[in-house]
Amino acid sequence: MAHLFNRNVVLGVCGGIAAYKAAFLVRELQARGADVRVIMTRGAEAFITPLTLQALSTHPVHRDLLDEEAERGMGHIELARWADLLLIAPATADCLARLAAGRADDLLTTVALATAAPVLVAPAMNQQMWADAATAANMATLEARGIHRVGPADGDQACGEVGTGRMSEPAAIAERAAGLFEHGALAGLRVVITAGPTREALDPVRYLSNHSSGKMGFALAAACADAGARTTLVSGPVTLETPPHVARTDVESAREMLEASLALLPACDIFIACAAVADYRPEHAADDKIKKSEERLSLTLVRNPDIVATVAAADPRPFTVGFAAETRDLLAYARGKLERKGLDLVVANDVSAEGIGFNSDDNAVTLLWAGGEAPLPRSGKGSLARLIVQHIAERYSASRAGL
């Protein structure tokens, strides 16, 4: 079954007896990983209730062109931008005619004009209406503009006639929709990524931390989502926006990050430990602000739990990727970390090098695994993340094949 992981589908439902199949189509799309939002025409409401499709899609059903409850009252633009695919099923003869004419007098046709996403129509109508020259001309016009079509199918029709005009079955429509997209190297896999620094409290206003910005981890999350993975970020305190199609859990301390990571392990195929976790924390955090009363202040530090080693030792364990941020003897330290912690892959980077340390937009790394290594030259963290994800996918596949 082809997938729609990390895809946003706007489903347009027109007025026809086949509108009842929209409920099953929502489920088929969701089963393939899509997030679905529904637009209903006024005619569609005569055949199926908005409440049904709202309950199934878990989103409010959109019906009005100028929606006062939508941001700035421009709901059609928001939906058009949100969509990775506009799917119209059933697409009636009237809908095809209005699309061909470039009409924009209701929400569905306006979104069709305003979206840059591909459009797929599933025609459904009486067999003679489908055979009519006007419908054929309208469909030819739409296909010439790049609009995709699935069906219609042959068979018995609600009107009692037999012929071509039945809406294709929901499973076939969902499969056709999925086929419009390229499928990434991590399609359907579940990835958890830790990112950013941790903060270890000294007192209610002070903490120990480091200079990590989280940029590399967030770039990896975006690359994993683009590769089709169901991606979750466990992030320390950063000022970055969550990438599209990525779930996010925010934490502060190393112990909170470990707890959040372990909670996600049962639904994790690949774990990428990119966070700059504090190795130590104060043995005791003061309940009140520490006052400046002495020339010297002594702190007793204790070791934090080793998150990536804990994950790598889990049973069952995910494919586990660690990061080694070093200032000297980079490859020796990284290879030691790979072996000592039982990791599948280590990404080693020299944080002392100018322009590729913490907070920078560029990076250069070397990937190490048992029996091999691959240096990746300096590039922007987004580009580098995509290369790293390609290697992770290759090593993951090799590990599952026993190579």
For the segment 21-65, what is each residue's pLDDT rounded down to a tens digit?
Answer: 999 999 999 988 889 999 999 999 999 999 999 999 999 999 877
> Can you tell me which residue has the tokens 């199609």?
245
Q: What is the pTM of this model?
A: 0.68
Judge whether 166 and 155 are in contact, CB under 8 Å: yes
301-303 and 280-282 beta bridge pairing: antiparallel
159 is catalytic: yes
Which of 167, 148, 166 minimizes the C-alpha distance to 22? Answer: 167
Judge whether 93 and 139 are in contact, CB under 8 Å: no
Which of 337, 328, 220 minimizes the C-alpha distance to 272? Answer: 220
Q: At what angle do helices 50-57 and 21-31 cross, to 10 degrees?
A: 10
Say which of 95, 159, 224, 274 is annotated catalytic: 159
Model pLDDT, residue 75:
56
Cβ burial of 291 (10 Å; 0-12, 13-18, 19+) is exposed
CB proximity list for 371: less than 8 A, separation 6 or greater: none
Judge whether 8 and 83 are in contact, CB under 8 Å: yes
Tokens for 221? 């999350």
- Asked, colleague to colleague, whether 8-178 and 190-400 share their fold, the answer is yes
All structural domains of the chain with their residue ranges: 8-178, 190-400
Model pLDDT, residue 403:
61
Model pLDDT, residue 61:
92
Which of 353, 363, 358, 356 minimizes the C-alpha distance to 383? Answer: 363
Question: Residue 148: what are its φ and ψ, rounded to 5°?
Answer: -95, 155
Q: Which fold has domain 190-400?
A: Rossmann fold (3.40.50)
Below-70 pLDDT ranges, the chain = 1-2, 66-76, 157, 159-160, 182-183, 354-359, 403
Model pLDDT, residue 371:
84
Judge: domain 8-178, CATH 3.40.50.1950: yes
